[in-house]
Amino acid sequence: MAITLVNPAGLPEIDVYRQVSVASGTQLVFVAGQVAWDADGATIGEGDLAAQVEQCYVNVGTALAAAGATFADVAKLNVHVVDWTPDKMPVLLEGIARASARRGVTPAAPATLLGVAALDVPEHLVEVEATAVVD
């Protein structure tokens, strides 16, 4: 495997991700920010943050697979959430858990969560982008 995830001593352990990823692979995979679209471009879960998070992570998994990668190869995730407030964390985590169950994996790469004013269209509440490394 090209990615080793680490929680170094001296940094807090976060349940949903690791603090550091070490890449030893040779090919970089950059996945564009994925929103809650299905294969036909219809928005899934309008107004439902958990459903949109789930669809975003499923879409990231689909994009990774097209490049010969999986969530185990992800070195970094960026998550952009419209009008983010900390009280939305349980709903965000619910969406990740649902996507993890659907995909049979638990994304644990280092992640950055960013609150944003808006995304591409008003219906989209979240966007997830990934960088992966494969051998």
Q: What is the mean pLDDT of residues 56-79?
A: 96
Distance CA 121, CA 35 (A): 10
Say if residue 42's pLDDT is above 80. yes
Of the candidates 84, 50, 77, which has an alpha carbon nearest to the alpha carbon of residue 61?
77
Distance CA 126, CA 135 (A): 30
Band the pLDDT of 33: cuts 50, 70, 90: very high
Q: What is the mean pLDDT of residues 101-106?
A: 89
Q: Is 119 exposed, middle or buried (0-12, 13-18, 19+ CB in 10 A)?
A: middle
pLDDT at residue 44, rounded to an integer: 97
pLDDT at residue 74, rounded to an integer: 95
Q: Are strands 111-116 and 74-82 parallel, antiparallel or unpaired?
A: parallel
Band the pLDDT of 80: cuts 50, 70, 90: very high
